[in-house]
Amino acid sequence: MTDDLDQLKAALKTATPTPDASARDKALALAQRNFDILQQATHSAHLENTPSSEQIGFFDQALRMFEHFGLRLGLYAVSGIAVLGIGIMILTPELSKKLLVYYFQSGPEPTEFMASVETTASSTENSAPVIKQAQLSESIVVQEENEQTTVHELVKLGISEDTDQTSVVPGSIEDLVSRIASGSEHSVLRIEQPMRDAGPVATSNLLSPKRAWNNQDNNAFAQLSNSAQDPLQEMEQFANGQPNTLKIVSEEPVSTFSIDVDTASYSFVRSSIMHDRLPRTDAVRVEEMINYFSYDYSNAEDENGPFSTSVAVLKTPWNQHTKLVRIGIQGETVPADDRPDLDLVFLIDTSGSMRAPDKLPLLKQSLQLLLAQLKPTDRVSIVTYAGSSGVALEPTPASDRATILTQLGALRSDGGTAGHEGLQTAYWQAEKMRGPGRVGRVILATDGDFNVGISGEEELKRYVEDKKNNGIYLSVLGFGQEYYNDGIMQALAQNGNGIAAHIDTTAEAMKVLVDQLSGTLVPIANDVKIQVEFNPTKVAEYRLIGYETRALAREDFNNDKVDAGEIGSGHTVTALYEITPVGSLAQKSDKLRYQSNADTKNSAELGFLKLRYKSPGESESQLIETPIIDGRAENSGDAKFAAAIAGFGQLLRGDTKYLGSWFYPDAIALAHSATGADQYGYRAEAVQLMKKVSAIDLTDNSFIDPSNLSRDTPMVQLGAFESARIAKSEWAWISRRFESYFEGKGPVIQRRATSGGKVFYRLRAVGFEDMDAARRFCSLLKAENIDCIRVAAR
Amino acid sequence: MTVGIRLTDTMRMKTSDHDLVQAANRGDGDAFSALLSRHYDAIHGLAFRMLGSGVDADDLAQDICAVLPYKLRSFRSDANFTTWLYRIVVNAVTDRFRKQATHRRVLAGWGDFHRMQQDEAAHAQNEVAWLYRAMSSLPDDLRQTVALVLGEELTHAQAAQLLEVSEGTVSWRMSEVRKSLRAIARDEEKTL
């Protein structure tokens, strides 16, 4: 039988052509050109960043970054902290959890992420039984006969199971190395772990920070997890992402958190729902959903510092016995004359796919809108990327609008996409414009088919992060409906300290480029922290809605070294507490008999709000204080809408404990009644999302009880999920998408637990004549890139 | 701080990959050029065996070349350069497969059997037609495995390391390949 393989081998070798000479020359020339560009572009950075003593330089740099950017460093810095944490042991579990969360927000798909964690586990302890992604395909084969919990499922769920799974045997790489290296006089080094990307991290890297710093983020990141007690356990905490629990005022009267002006979670939720899928519960950050919308707090009486604060009491839509306390912050709008000059490089995707009217033409319109916001002393450069990248407009003062508009108008779409190269050219332009007191920013405008190609997302992110640390920021504008690469766009922008926005209409362009861009470009207050002390004579219990990833320790409120969120020009920030007044029927905890002699002097006050912020460039914070006065519930459209979104977010999180029977229809009705002027239609869109979700988030019981299935009933397994709810929504999605295949098939959800006690849910389909029919079904689905495994009921 | 010695042309003929990488990373454009010329054909060859199309291999090789200057900076001196490069090619191919899947593009390369039949009509080579038929019958991961095990003549263990699967998986995949070849043989017998 080897004859077949020999024949294939021979045919393969014969068929391999000599490379086309002109293609070869072109590729080599391109490489050389990029090499030169890279040399030029990074020359100055090299001088700055490569101190003679590598080790001290590294720690110095990492520490500086750590202080300066805190947790929001992005991935490049994550690798820095990771190494730092291991090297000098300052990494707390809490911090690593936050970093995990951050990683998820901007990082790869969870499965990849898990795989990277596991890899390191094996790199540090080769003997430990670890689950390897490498075994996926094997385990799939195994499962056809064996009904046990499979590694496949476990990896997907991120669960460790104490099985005898052996990891890839180390050492055999040595053979490979020696074999391929024949012809080279180099001595063969032993590599003790499977290869990941270009270079594996050996544990000895920990002694050589410079090297680890240079390494792949996922490896360095994995080291980070490894430094925690139990990386998998750490991950579970993250996966559960516990919603804030009810606090009893007499026990814990003070609540402290950092503000959060990000809105990425809303985009994520929106895009999931638009694709007929429930968002992962741990990706739903309720505060970011609330903050996607702006609310009018401008009439707040308490105006001091760079923003005004507004405190109001609202009705709780889902519980008539509790109230919502709303804290609203409105950042002042900095007039353009007062902000630093901007050097903007528009990196514009002019590839063929941009031809659609909602892409390049809309992009041009959008940039015209933006141009109108610029000062004469700002400068603009345009770089295009298509088949090859080029500079369409050398740096030009914004005052020369005619030239800029002419160049913008002349852009045509054709050719393929060379994103990476374009990005390098854009940064090169930005470097050229650098000057004291100016802010450089690359604005990438694309339909999302950004070819990160071989460079890989991680490296690209690191590149962007690196540029940010050198003072050049990156924002991303996405165009068109087929926005495939949303994840990397978000990640790039986060690492580049900018926004990632998706522009589908001129109205959205107005929102992002006129209102929000100035907000993102011009920070007005840094490290904004909120602390609320509740009055135990008025409030029995409270619960902060959202902001889970932003919690601060009580004492950190006054500690100016502790990082917190920024507010940009014109931003609004909203935080909601659900409070249970003393004596309310809603009170969950019993009253204490002996503790109720608190000072009742300030009886009109539900609590006291303290807010700290730093003005940009300053290191000392300032304090703003406001009492929270109980009064008539505000019933404005803004109030109702924020409450509706808060409820919607909690439903999406599956955090329904406090919502009673309140469900999507209630959210829809409330939000619908409160869309107000809704100039751009965002609120109306949110209502549409709610309607859509109510069709996906199945609550019915049309699922077949697995215990009713007779032995050996043929089935296929479509996946394993963290909750029955997600499994159901997956069924809703998949069975509609492949309607013709799923005719006559019924869903089964089987609850399973690992030996470690972690529960998960298998989604299966029944309705096959025999195993062969199931096999055919699976091959159809596999061709559509859907996981599918044949199984038989036991 | 070590100061790099600039390499002359004659020295470079015998210079190891590692030294070229180091010189390139210090900014020596000639070293970079020499390194890439040395390895371009290997990149292209592996790309072809995985993709099954000379044009696609040209494309992919160009993509790799374009990012190599940047990529090179993450090369670690204790890794083997060729292995490292293979890995980049494998990743790039995987990336391409993934993208094709996302865009639901029509299969190209090995999968484009019909185009191949037309192209190869001129060649009238049964063997080539058989090769394309064989390769197109395999899923992506099996084709990648074939390219490494048969094309590059790596052992199962070596291929396993590059593909990040276990050796057993590679062996299993190769047995699947054999099965697939046998099925084709049976088909051909029938049609004869």
Query: pLDDT tens for residues B124-183?
Result: 456 777 787 788 778 888 888 999 998 888 888 888 888 888 888 888 889 888 888 888
CA distances to A581, B35, B62 from B41, rounded to whole Å, are 75, 12, 12
* Per-residue pLDDT at B110: 57
CA distances to A6, A571, B50 from B143, rounded to whole Å, are 15, 53, 6
What percent of chain B is predicted at pLDDT more than 70?
74
Distance from CA of A131 to the nearest CA of B (A): 12
* Per-residue pLDDT at B106: 35
Q: Is the pLDDT of residue A257 over 50?
A: yes
Say yes or no for a CB contact (<8 Å) between A420 and B70.
Answer: yes
- Contact status, residue A318 vs residue A666, Cβ threshold 8 Å: yes
How are beta strands A438-446 and A472-479 bridged, if at all? parallel
- Contact status, residue B176 vs residue B134, Cβ threshold 8 Å: no
Q: Is the pLDDT of residue A529 over 90?
A: yes
Residues in chain B: 192
Say yes or no for a CB contact (<8 Å) between B64 and A454.
Answer: yes
Distance from CA of B66 to the nearest CA of A (A): 5
What is the residue-averaged pLDDT of chain A?
69
Say yes or no for a CB contact (<8 Å) between B151 and A9.
Answer: yes
Q: Is the pLDDT of residue B75 over 60?
A: yes
Q: What's the average model confidence in pLDDT over A232-240?
A: 26
* Per-residue pLDDT at A59: 35
Say yes or no for a CB contact (<8 Å) between B67 and A455.
Answer: yes
CA distances to A153, A284, A340 from A295, rounded to whole Å, are 43, 21, 27
Q: CA A627, CA A625: separation in Å to the nearest integer?
A: 7
Q: CA B180, CA B192: separation in Å to the nearest integer?
A: 18
Nearest to B54 by CA among A21, A10, A417: A21
**Cβ neighbour number for residue A745 with a 10 Å cutoff:** 18
Distance from CA of A3 to the nearest CA of B (A): 9
Say yes or no for a CB contact (<8 Å) between A134 and B166.
Answer: yes
Interface of B with A in 105-124 (CB under 8 A): none
For residue range A617-665, what is the model confidence (pLDDT) as tens digits? 677 899 999 899 888 888 889 999 999 999 999 999 888 889 988 888 8
For residue range A201-219, what is the model confidence (pLDDT) as tens digits? 322 222 222 222 222 233 3
Q: Is the pLDDT of residue B8 over 60?
A: no
Q: CA A447, CA A484: separation in Å to the nearest integer?
A: 8
3-state helix, strand, coil in chain B (%, to 5): 80, 0, 20
Among all chains, which residue has been given the structure tokens 């001196």? B77
- Contact status, residue A324 vs residue A290, Cβ threshold 8 Å: no
CA distances to A18, A188, A207, A429, B90 from B42, rounded to whole Å, are 10, 21, 35, 35, 12
Say yes or no for a CB contact (<8 Å) between B29 and A36.
Answer: yes
A42-46, A323-327, A409-413, A573-577: which range is least confident on average? A42-46
CA nearest to A137 within chain B: B169
> What confidence tier does A2 reach under pLDDT thresholds 50, 70, 90?
low
Say yes or no for a CB contact (<8 Å) between B127 and A14.
Answer: yes
For residue range A314-367, what is the model confidence (pLDDT) as tens digits? 999 999 999 999 999 988 877 767 778 889 999 988 877 777 777 888 888 888
Find all residues with CB under 8 Å of A729, minimum gap 6, and list them: A277, A278, A696, A697, A698
Q: CA A554, CA A569: separation in Å to the nearest integer?
A: 28
Q: What's the average model confidence in pLDDT over A464-475?
A: 77
- What number is the ipTM of this complex? 0.82
A60-69, A281-290, B59-68: which range is least confident on average? A60-69
Query: Which candidate in A13, A143, A176, A447 is best for mutational testing of the B interface (most B CBs within 10 A)?
Result: A176
* Per-residue pLDDT at A227: 28
Contacts of A420 in chain B (CB under 8 A): 66-67, 70
* Per-residue pLDDT at A574: 95
* Per-residue pLDDT at A82: 30
Q: What's the average model confidence in pLDDT over A388-404?
A: 84
Q: Is the pLDDT of residue A438 over 60?
A: yes
Contacts of A17 in chain B (CB under 8 A): 48, 54
Burial class (CB within 10 angstroms; exposed 0-12, middle 13-18, buried 19+) of B84: buried
A89-93, A357-361, B12-16, B188-192: which range is least confident on average? A89-93
Q: Is the pLDDT of residue A20 over 90?
A: no
* Per-residue pLDDT at A56: 34
Contacts of B148 in chain A (CB under 8 A): none
Say yes or no for a CB contact (<8 Å) between A176 and B157.
Answer: yes
Contacts of B31 in chain A (CB under 8 A): none
* Per-residue pLDDT at A146: 35
Interface A–B counts its CB contacts (< 8 A) at 241
Distance from CA of A199 to the nearest CA of B (A): 6
Query: Which candidate in A2, A22, A24 is best for mutational testing of the B interface (most B CBs within 10 A)?
Result: A24
What is the residue-averaged pLDDT of chain B?
76
Amino acid in the structure at residue A262:
D
Q: CA A312, CA A639: separation in Å to the nearest integer?
A: 9
> What confidence tier does A508 reach under pLDDT thresholds 50, 70, 90?
low
How are beta strands A379-385 and A714-721 bridged, if at all? unpaired
- Contact status, residue A212 vs residue A79, Cβ threshold 8 Å: yes
Q: Is the pLDDT of residue B15 over 80?
A: no
* Per-residue pLDDT at A126: 34
* Per-residue pLDDT at A695: 76
Say yes or no for a CB contact (<8 Å) between B128 and A11.
Answer: yes
Q: Is the pLDDT of residue A436 over 60?
A: yes
Distance from CA of B8 to the nearest CA of A (A): 18
Tokens of A221: 């990141």
Interface of B with A in 137-166 (CB under 8 A): 141, 146-147, 150-151, 153-155, 157-158, 160-162, 164-166
> What confidence tier does B5 reach under pLDDT thresholds 50, 70, 90?
very low
For residue range A761-791, what is the model confidence (pLDDT) as tens digits? 888 898 888 888 888 888 888 777 777 888 8
Tokens of A455: 């460079």
A313-322, A485-494, A537-546, A619-628: which range is least confident on average? A485-494
What percent of chain A is predicted at pLDDT more than 90?
14
Distance from CA of B158 to the nearest CA of A (A): 5
Say yes or no for a CB contact (<8 Å) between A30 and B65.
Answer: yes
CA nearest to B71 within chain A: A455
Q: What's the average model confidence in pLDDT over B47-58?
A: 84
Among all chains, which residue has been given the structure tokens 């931003």? A571
The interaxial angle of helices A637-653 and A664-672, nearest 10 deg, is 160
CA nearest to A142 within chain B: B169
In this complex, the residue of B67, B102, B185 whose CB is nearest that of residue A453 is: B67
Q: CA A312, CA A634: separation in Å to the nearest integer?
A: 7
* Per-residue pLDDT at A313: 93
Say yes or no for a CB contact (<8 Å) between B33 and A172.
Answer: no
Distance from CA of A157 to the nearest CA of B (A): 19
CA nearest to B47 within chain A: A16
Among all chains, which residue has been given the structure tokens 């042309």? B9
CA nearest to B141 within chain A: A137
Long-range contacts of B147-150 (CB under 8 A, 24+ apart): B147/A12, B147/B46, B147/B49, B147/B50, B148/B46, B148/B86, B148/B90, B149/B174, B150/A5, B150/A8, B150/A9, B150/A12
Instruction: Give this prediction's pTM.
Output: 0.49
The interaxial angle of helices A217-227 and A231-240, nearest 10 deg, is 100
Q: CA A299, CA A591: separation in Å to the nearest integer?
A: 38
